[in-house]
Amino acid sequence: MDMKELSGILRSCGIVGAGGAGFPTYAKLDARAKTIILNCAECEPLLKLHRQLLEKNAWDIMSAFQLIGDAVGADELVIGIKKAYKKTVEALDSYIQEFPKMRIGLLDEVYPAGDEVVLIYEVTGKVVRPGGLPIESGVAVFNVETVYNVFKAVNEGHPVTDKLISVVGEVEHPVTVRVPLGCTVDDVVALAGSVTTKDPVYVLGGPMMGNLASGSQPITKTTNAILVLPRAHTVVQKKCSKASIDLNRAAASCCQCTMCTDLCPRNLLGHPIEPHKFMLAATCKDVQKTEVFLDTMFCSSCGLCEMYSCTQSLSPRTLITEYKGGLRKAGVPVPKDVLPEPVGMERSYRKVPMERLMARLGLTKYNVSAPMDNHCVSMDCVRILLSQHIGAPAIAVVKAGDVVEKGHMIAKPANGLSVGIHASVDGRVRQVTDKFIIIDAVPDGGNLVAPAAEDDTERTKTV
Ligand code: SF4
Ligand code: SF4
């Protein structure tokens, strides 16, 4: 299959990065990609989704990864996976000889091994330039679930209608479940049995880079984990902090020990991000050193400086993110032509072990298995967002009262960078706005029958 054909399938099937910002996958297909990497680092503590999906569907995912490699003309395909995921590595080993251009790149159990820039260095030895894109170094990185979605799209014509999510933390039975897009966080948490803390708080996406969420928030194509924690937990308290208070605390207690910079994963790859200098300049309002502020754009927001490194429990990441956002709003461009310094010897002994990170954050007791069930759970009602990815929101092609079947396109890709959105349940459309579509599910199609049609936009019927 050539790149154009594959790109068309991925766009119409609504495939985006199944985690992070949700970059449309078709736009990642690029003939400059001489190396493609499958990211199975899964470096956020407690997440257990990718390793299980890859273990149970190793051949499917490897074959789809090969298909992508062939389409872009890659010379080398690397599966970046932690040594610690032994069963998954065994599953990969049993098929790897079928894919001569593919190899396994083993990673240490450290954070943030899954940061694209870190991963690329670990498995290829290349350093992406500060502020640059991996493709400039001839590399493209794909998420495990994204590639599984590519397999289903190409082999079964199956668009993205549901999402795998790990539910961990203060729940009776931690699980990894497949749920329809648009169901709520509360719906998914209920699948893990009862909540085992009195005042639970939800964190979506992992303790390091995830965000606080309400129970009514809809599941999107990028939701990969729900962490249930007590309100008083360290992780929750750090995520509740306010930048103005953080700045005052930094002014009072940053001792310039440089630990935040010494352990910064981007700094260790020679990128000019030095959080301790930023803390000093920000608290002293020293705007003469503009490069200290401009360099915040090279921060990956991995959170290591504030969740682990800082000896005073200060929040460099939060403050850097605040400044970075301000620069972006003001239209300040990311500095170009900044070259990385050579990677120093010290990097090898400054990696942060996952075990230490979890202990520091009080997460060790939640590090239990979250077994995966890959069959999609049914839900009564879904609220499907039209913007679940980077780029333009999809445009609704259904109206209230329409009958839809699971998998029918309910919103078409907009012009420019965009993908389609599909019904995640069989049912009747209740409401359509410019932000979302609500569908009431009808079990087994009920007596509402949508006619078969060639064109997705015609596969709905007003009743
Ligand atoms: S969040 Fe902190 S540790 Fe991570 S890249 Fe930014 S400055 Fe470095
Ligand atoms: S680790 Fe904390 S105290 Fe030390 S320089 Fe960084 S922000 Fe300041």
pLDDT > 70: percent of the chain: 95
What average pLDDT score do residues 349-362 get?
Answer: 96
pLDDT value of residue 461: 34
Q: Encode pLDDT of 91-126 as tens digits.
A: 999 999 999 999 999 999 999 999 999 999 999 999
> Which residue puts its alpha carbon closest to atom 1 of ligand 2?
310
- Whether the CB of 315 sits within 6 Å of ligand 2: no
Among the listed residues 399, 409, 389, the one whose alpha carbon sits nearest the alpha carbon of residue 455: 409
- Whether the CB of 462 sits within 6 Å of ligand 2: no
pLDDT value of residue 446: 53
State in Å: Cα 310 to ligand 2 middle.
5
- Whether the CB of 255 sits within 6 Å of ligand 2: yes
Question: Is pLDDT above 70 for 456?
Answer: no
Side-by-side strand order, sheet with 211-213 = 211-213, 200-204, 225-230, 162-169, 175-180, 372-376
- Whether the CB of 279 sits within 6 Å of ligand 2: yes
> Which residue puts its alpha carbon closest to atom 5 of ligand 2?
256
pLDDT value of residue 130: 95
Question: Is pLDDT above 50 for 286?
Answer: yes
What average pLDDT score do residues 129-138 get?
Answer: 94
Structure confidence at residue 447 as a pLDDT band (50, 70, 90)? low
Q: Encode pLDDT of 189-213 as tens digits.
A: 999 999 999 999 999 999 999 999 9
Mutate which of 246, 255, 320 for ligand 2? The one with the most ligand atoms within 8 Å of its CB, which is 255
pLDDT value of residue 288: 75
- Of 57 and 450, the structure prediction assigns the larger pLDDT to 57
Question: Is pLDDT above 90 for 449?
Answer: no
Question: Is pLDDT above 70 for 70?
Answer: yes
Mutate which of 263, 277, 279, 317 for ligand 2? The one with the most ligand atoms within 8 Å of its CB, which is 279
pLDDT value of residue 462: 32
pLDDT value of residue 289: 78
CA 151 to CA 66: how far, in whole Å?
A: 10
Q: What is the pTM of this model?
A: 0.91
- Average pLDDT score over the chain: 92
- Whether the CB of 276 sits within 6 Å of ligand 2: yes
pLDDT > 90: percent of the chain: 82
Q: Encode pLDDT of 327-338 as tens digits.
A: 999 999 888 889
pLDDT value of residue 452: 45
State in Å: Cα 300 to ligand 1 middle.
6
pLDDT value of residue 448: 54
